[in-house]
Each structure stands twice: as structure tokens, then as C-alpha cells.
Chain A
Amino acid sequence: MDDTLLLARAQFGLNIAFHILFPTITIGLAWLVAYFRIQYERTRDAAWLATYKLWVKVFALTFAMGVVTGITMSFQFGTNWPGFMAAVGNIAGPLLAYEVLTAFFLEATFLGVMLFGMDRVSGRVHVASAFIVAAGTTLSAFWILALNSWMQTPAGHIEVDGELIAASWWAVIFNPSFPHRLTHMLLASGITAAFVVAGLSAWRLIKAADDAAARKTLLSGARIAAVLVPLQIFVGDLHGLNTLEHQPAKIAALEAIWKTERGAPLTLFGIPNEQEKRTDYAIMVPKGASLILAHDANAELKGLEDFEEHPPVAPVFFAFRIMVGMGMMMLALSWIGVLVLRKSTPRWLLWSFAAFTFSGWIATLAGWLVTEIGRQPWLVTGILLTSDAAGGATGAELGASLTAYVAVYAVMLLSYMVTLTHLAGKGSS
């Protein structure tokens, strides 16, 4: 891989990874904030209003971070991947444009009403604005995941005179992996937001143990996570089966299945050795992979040896284990939390939730690495190679701008996290 391609990927990867952090929170948090708002409308209880006002601040900050990092993305599609638009622009372009038209304006405009208009519009209109913002964030997830899924499992397109165009937009949007990926991502967002709410509330309780509102939101966050995490594990399994059907090489890589065999063992941990085509220090469960992936202990699984192209094994292997490991820990914490919080609020539990505030980020980023690196060497499976899509900017331009982005992002992330803990520390009162 030459340096320019590497830099283009590093820069785009950095930008999109940094961007994804914020929508992941806001898609879930928007609905929670809307819920707080409608609770106040129904009960007229000042505690709900205070809760709403605290979390809408968290939401606004996170949303702004998402907006400004998202603008960057809209430019980099063209600058870093001119070959992408040249090859599949007739499909990707409209999907992105629909996201802007149907979601971005809607959420941005009504966020203005929501944040600044509480004393200018009726309560009903204000509640409606909160729900419109939430619907907008979800709608934007719909379009961007339609595009992302199409890149993973393209469908509904035909080639006419050397140009790739849509034969059926319905088939393009509802491509085979789309329903699974969308559900997986929306749940991930709900879980991430739940842990942010629980974690920041726990932080508040560490500083002020008698804050009743913080105790309420801690419990809400823990309960939502306790419901959504098991659901996510179930949906994740379905998503895995779907991937096995449509992108078997990705599954072979993330499970480090080197040889095609019946009753393939499941590698719990190890160090993939790509040169020797084996996993060093592997801890295996006999027949486990066949059981999990095909739901049949003796099923045959296709190994990496049988694929002409497959993604690099180690990154997806490790990223997948980080995602699953985080998921298991989040499951344990949310359940223990719900059980313990019924009776008491011990400090160790508060510290655990505070430490897990951004756990959703780690799991989401790991999952995102699995799915995007797992697609390599393709940018659009079977249609466009990543190496054929780069270009445009020179290595020097990429290097200079990458340095600037890294510096700005570091400042932004630090300020964001400090402000959030500061806000949470002050609480809603």
C-alpha cells in the first residue's frame, strides 16, 4: 500500500471515527430528552423540568460536535475518495442527499426551537419539537446506514454503458444487510446513551449523594441498558448469521478460521499469525464456531484458505473480541446495577457506572472497525477496490491537514469530556 492511500485512509478513518462518537450518543439521547420533556408536560413536576434542562445541555453539546465533524465528512467523500464517487456516485450520492434533505435541516431547525424557544412557543409545540429532533436523528441514521449497508452488500444496481446506476431504489436501500445493520446501530446508540446518562448521573451522586433527580436518571439509564443489551446480543447474533451468508470472508477473518472444516472450533482468544496461517496461543472450544455461526455443531464452515481475497485477520479478530467483551461487561453492570439499586446506592457501583460512561463508544468503535475493515480489500463489495478509489489530494496535503485535524480533535474531545463531567457534577438543581 503506498503512503498516499495509507494517509487518505488514516485521515478518513480518523474523521469518521471521531464523528461517529457523537451521533452514537445523540440518536439515543434525543429520545430520552424528548421523554423527559413530555414527562414534564404531563406532570408539571419541576424535577422533570430540571432533568430535561440538564440533559438537553448534554444533548446540544453532543449534537454540535456531531454537526461540525459531519460537515467534514461531506467534503472528504470527494477529496479522499474521488474514485468512490466516480464509480458509485449515482447510488451513493442520492442516499447522502436524501439524508441532508430529510434529516439534517429538520433536526437542526427544530433543535433551535427546542433549545431557545421554550418561552416563545406553546408547550405542545415545544414537546413536538423535541420529538421531531429525535425523529430527525433516527432518520439520518436510516439513510447513512442504507449507504453503508449497500457498500457491504450491494443490491438493486445494474450497469448501463459502463455506468453503475440503480435499477430499483427500494432494493438499493433495503439491501440484504440493511435491516440488521440499522437495528444493530440503533440499539448501540440506545445503549451508549443509556450508559452516558447512567455514568454522568453516578458521577453526580458521588459528589452529591442526596440528589434525587440524579438517582432517578441513574436508574433509568441502568434499566434501559439492562433491556437493550440482551436485545443487542440477540440482534448481533442475527447480524452475524446475515454476514455469514453475504460476506463469509469477513466472518472467517473475525473468527480466525483458517481451514475449511466440519465442526469448526471457536477460538476464544489467541494471536492470529497471518504468515503461518494459524492462531498462536489459541484457546479453543471444539465445534464452537459451527455451533454459533450455523447453529449446528457439525456444520461446515469455509476457512480463509478458500477465499481469493479476505480482510486482514488480526485487526478484525481483536476488534470483534473487544466489542463482544465490552458487551458482556455492559450486560453484567446493567443487570447488577438494576438489582442493587432497588435497595441501595453503594459507592463501588457509582464508581463502576462512572467508569463505564463512555463504554458504548469503545464497543461501537470496535464494531465499526470489524465491519469496515472486514469489508477490505473492497470499498464496495465486489464492485470497487479501496485502492482504486483514493486520490485527489497529495501526500503532503494529507499529512498537513491530518496533523491539524488530530490537534483540533484532541482539543475538542478533551473539552467535551471535561465539560460533560463538569455539567454532570453540578447536577440539575
Chain B
Amino acid sequence: MSIDLPLIFAALMGVAILAYVVLDGYDLGVGMLMLASERGDHDTMIASIGPFWDANETWLVLGVGLLLVAFPLAHGIVLGALYLPVAAMLVGLMLRGVAFELRIKAEGWHRELWNWLFSAGSYLAAFSQGLMLGRYILGFEPGFGGWLFSTLVGVSLCGGYMLLGATWLVLRTEGGLRDRSAVWARWGLGWVALAIALVSLATPFASETVREKWFDFPRTLGLMLLPVATLGAGCWVWLTLDKSDWKPFAGAVAIYVLAFAGLAYSLFPYVVMDSLTIWDAAAHPSALTFMLIGTLIVLPFIIGYTAYAYRVFSGKVRGGSPYG
């Protein structure tokens, strides 16, 4: 029996992208929430994501890297078609990364300016990622409807990241900031609920492929477990916000995992919607085998030391002590 290398790499790529969305999602969300927060909270909010944001963004490089390595044909098509949103996202990520470092070193109004750029960069990156996702789901369909749909996804993702960021702050901070974060989380949750409902309803209209996959009785009945579970996770977040620190974040992550599963089901087996399957676009088996060996050896280490880093920095962030 031969192993289905393209399938394995599609799964790996999915895991990398999901990891990116959840991990960088919470730190982008914290960046976005800074606009709503009080000046006194800024340092604590930043300190809660300080040790992690670099490594979180590395998952994006891995996701894109796997697309590049495993599906080189698709990499050119996908990223070529998404050229402008990708460029906008990169500008956002750059502003944010630099602002993160420079705000620590700045004082007075400089610091306020970098704080603002940090937030603005987070919004730009989040919105562009949603835009990319929307374009991607529709197979880069031109026209007003396609862009309208993508804008909807972009706005939705902003809400989604805000939910992740707010629940992360509930987990990592205490006192007044924790309580304010719980309020933000409720707003974020409402936003996400509305967004998921709209996107889930709009997608089958916008894409025939998706419509056929989801409205195929009796399979549809089984598939309805996904939205039901998502609703359950949403309620869990809402109900636990005042009682627990970690449960809301876990619930928010569950929402992402479920939404991602739905998305993966909609897209599979396409890597470029309606035109290129993962098997059409896959790189040569020799390249994939070499890659797989490396991945199987290295990935456990990555997971191991990432878990270690999260353990080192577990617990509540106290004060906003920048390093050094």
C-alpha cells in the first residue's frame, strides 16, 4: 500500500493554518482591543502576548511554506490571485511587529503613536486575511458579489480574532482588565455569531460546489452536527465568562476548530477551488518524502518546546514589565 502523500500534506497544511489562526488570532485580537482599552491597560495587554507573537507568526510561514513546498502549482495561482490582500496583510503584520518592539523603547506621544500603529496593523492584517479567505472560497471569482462576500468574511474574521483576544485576556489578566475583557468577549461573541450565520448562509449561495456538498440529503442531517456543536461552543463561552478563566478561551478555540472543519469539508479536495485538486497540484513524491521525514522528526520537538514555553509563561500577567 502506498501512502497518499498529497493528502498527508494537505492535512499538515490545514493543521499549520489552523494553528496560525488560533495562535496569531489571539495576539492580533489583543492588538485590536487596544483601541478600546484604557491607556493604563496597554502594557499588561502587550505583556500577555509578548513571549509568543514571534512564534505564533511562524505558523503562517509554515502554512505558506507547506503550500509552496507541497503544492507549488497552487502557491503561484493562489498567492498571485490574492496579490493585493496579501500585500496589505504583510504591511499590517510588519507595522505591528515593528510597533511592538518600538513601543517598548518609546516614551510619551511616540509610545501612543506606536500603540496606535500596533492596533491599526492588527486590524489591517486581520481584515486582509478574511478578505483572502473569502476570495479563496469562491475560487477568486471576479465581480462585485465576490468582493462583497469577501468583505463580509474580512469583517467577520476581525470579530473572530477579537473574541479570541478577549478570552485570552480573561485567561491571562486579572481585576478590572479581566472584567472589561469579559465584556469585550460578549461583544465579540455576538459579532462572531452574526458573522458565522451570515457567512454560512451566503457561502452556499455564492458557491455551487459548496451548496452541493452541504445540501445532499441524508448527509445534510449528519453535517448539521457541526453548526449545532458550534452553537454549543458559543453558549459555553457566554455562560462561563463570569465563572472561569480558561473555559471561555477553550470555547473560542473550539468555535475556530469547528468552523475550520466546516471550511475544510467545503473545500476538499480542492486546493484551488473548482480547478485544482491537491493531487493535481502536488509536488514530486521525492520532494514530499524528504519533507515528510523532516516533518515527522522535527514537529514533535516544535510541539514540545512550544508547550514548554506556554508552561513557563502560564498564569496571570502581573504588571506590564517589558523585558530588559
Measuring CB to CB, which residues of chain A are less than 8 angstroms from any residue of chain B?
A: 53-54, 56-57, 60-61, 63-65, 67-72, 74-75, 77-79, 82, 85-86, 89-91, 93-94, 96-98, 100-102, 104-106, 108-113, 115-118, 120-121, 160, 163, 165-166, 169, 391-394, 397, 400-401, 404-405, 408, 412, 415-416, 419, 422-423
- Across the interface, which residues of A come within 8 angstroms of B232, CB to CB? none
Whether, in the assembled complex, B237 has its beta carbon less than 8 Å from a beta carbon of chain A, the answer is no
- Across the interface, which residues of B come within 8 angstroms of A101, CB to CB? 62, 294-295, 298-299, 302
- Across the interface, which residues of A come within 8 angstroms of B60, CB to CB? 71
Q: Which of B32-40, B87-95, B152-160, B170-178 contacts A (4 or more CB under 8 A)?
A: B87-95
- Across the interface, which residues of B come within 8 angstroms of A105, CB to CB? 55, 58, 62, 302, 305-306
- Across the interface, which residues of A come within 8 angstroms of B58, CB to CB? 100, 104-105, 108
With A106-B305, A392-B80 given, name 10 new contacts (CB 8 A). Answer: A53-B324, A60-B101, A64-B54, A64-B100, A74-B64, A112-B309, A118-B323, A169-B290, A391-B76, A401-B83
- B57-84 Cβ-contact flags toward A at 8 Å (1 or 0): 1101110111111101101111110011
The CA of A97 and the CA of B62, in the complex, are separated in Å by 7
Contact B76 A82, beta carbon cutoff 8 Å: yes
Nearest CB in chain A to that of B72: its residue: A89
Nearest CB in chain A to that of B73: its residue: A86
Most buried by A among B51, B283, B295: B51
Q: How far is the CB of B252 from chain A (nearest CB, A)?
A: 22
Q: How far is the CB of A361 from chain B (nearest CB, A)?
A: 18
- Across the interface, which residues of A come within 8 angstroms of B100, CB to CB? 64
Nearest CB in chain B to that of A420: its residue: B105
Q: How far is the CB of B31 from chain A (nearest CB, A)?
A: 14
The CA of A118 and the CA of B324, in the complex, are separated in Å by 9
Contact A90 B287, beta carbon cutoff 8 Å: yes
- When the two chains form the complex, which single residue of A74, A110, A111, A115 contacts B61, counting CB atoms closer than 8 Å? A74
* Chain A binding surface, main DSSP class: helix
* Chain B binding surface, main DSSP class: helix
- Across the interface, which residues of A come within 8 angstroms of B105, CB to CB? 57, 61, 419, 422-423
- Across the interface, which residues of B come within 8 angstroms of A112, CB to CB? 50-52, 54-55, 309, 313
- Across the interface, which residues of B come within 8 angstroms of A61, CB to CB? 101-102, 105
- Across the interface, which residues of A come within 8 angstroms of B102, CB to CB? 61, 415, 419
The CA of A401 and the CA of B128, in the complex, are separated in Å by 14
The CA of A63 and the CA of B323, in the complex, are separated in Å by 15
- Across the interface, which residues of B come within 8 angstroms of A408, CB to CB? 91, 94-95
The CA of A72 and the CA of B83, in the complex, are separated in Å by 12
Query: Which residues of chain B from 208 to 222 have any CB-CB distance to chain A below 8 Å in the complex?
Result: none
Query: Which residues of chain B from 281 to 297 have any CB-CB distance to chain A below 8 Å in the complex?
Result: 283-284, 286-287, 290-291, 294-295
Contact A64 B79, beta carbon cutoff 8 Å: no
Q: Known contacts A89-B69, A112-B51, A113-B312; is A71 also within 8 Å of B83 by CB?
A: no
Contact A67 B68, beta carbon cutoff 8 Å: no
Q: Known contacts A69-B94, A93-B69; is A115 also within 8 Å of B51 by CB?
A: yes
Q: How far is the CB of A265 from chain B (nearest CB, A)?
A: 46
Contact A108 B55, beta carbon cutoff 8 Å: yes
Q: How far is the CB of B72 from chain A (nearest CB, A)?
A: 3
- Across the interface, which residues of B come within 8 angstroms of A69, CB to CB? 94
The CA of A160 and the CA of B285, in the complex, are separated in Å by 12
Contact B79 A165, beta carbon cutoff 8 Å: no
- Across the interface, which residues of B come within 8 angstroms of A75, CB to CB? 64, 79, 86, 90
Q: How far is the CB of A379 from chain B (nearest CB, A)?
A: 14
Contact A68 B86, beta carbon cutoff 8 Å: no
- When the two chains form the complex, which single residue of A57, A85, A169 contacts B68, counting CB atoms closer than 8 Å? A85
- When the two chains form the complex, which single residue of A54, A77, A90, A392 contacts B286, counting CB atoms closer than 8 Å? A90
Most buried by A among B67, B287, B313: B287
- A–B pairs, 29, beta carbons within 8 Å: A64-B97, A64-B101, A72-B94, A75-B79, A77-B68, A82-B77, A85-B76, A89-B68, A89-B287, A96-B68, A97-B69, A97-B291, A97-B294, A97-B295, A100-B58, A101-B299, A105-B55, A108-B54, A108-B58, A110-B309, A112-B51, A112-B313, A115-B323, A116-B50, A117-B51, A120-B313, A393-B83, A400-B84, A408-B95
